Amino acid sequence: MPLGLDAEEAQEVVDFLMEHEELPRRIAANGREFIDQHLTLGHVRRYWLRLLQDYAALQRFEPQLDEDLTWVERE
C-alpha cells in the first residue's frame, strides 16, 4: 500500500486494512512470492553497497582510525 508522509492518511490506510483483513494478507503473500521468485542475494548486496555509498557521500568529515582501538579476530 503506498503511503505518503501525512499521519492522518497513514491512519486511514491502517484503519482500512484492519477492516479488510484479507487484503494485507494478500499483499504480504504477493511480496513474499515476488522475493522468492526475483530477489537474489546479489540484489541485496548491491542494494546495501549503493545505500552505503550514498550515505558515505553525505559525510562532511574524513573518517579517522582510532589508534586506541584493538582489532579482534573472529574464530
pLDDT at 39 over 90: yes
pLDDT per residue as tens digits for the range 54-66: 999 999 999 899 9
Total number of domains in the chain = 1
Domain boundaries, position 40: 7-58
Model-wide pTM > 0.85? no
Q: Sign (positive/negative) of CA torsion 65, 68, 69, 72?
A: positive
Q: What's the half-sphere exposure (Cβ side, CA atoms, 13 Å) at 55?
A: 6
Confidence of residue 21 (pLDDT cuts 50, 70, 90): very high
Nearest to 55 by CA among 67, 66, 63: 63
How is residue 27 written as a grid cell? 499483499
End-to-end Cα separation, the chain, in angstroms:
44
For the chain, how many residues are written?
Answer: 75
Please report whether residue 50 resides in a domain: yes
Please report whether residue 11 resides in a domain: yes
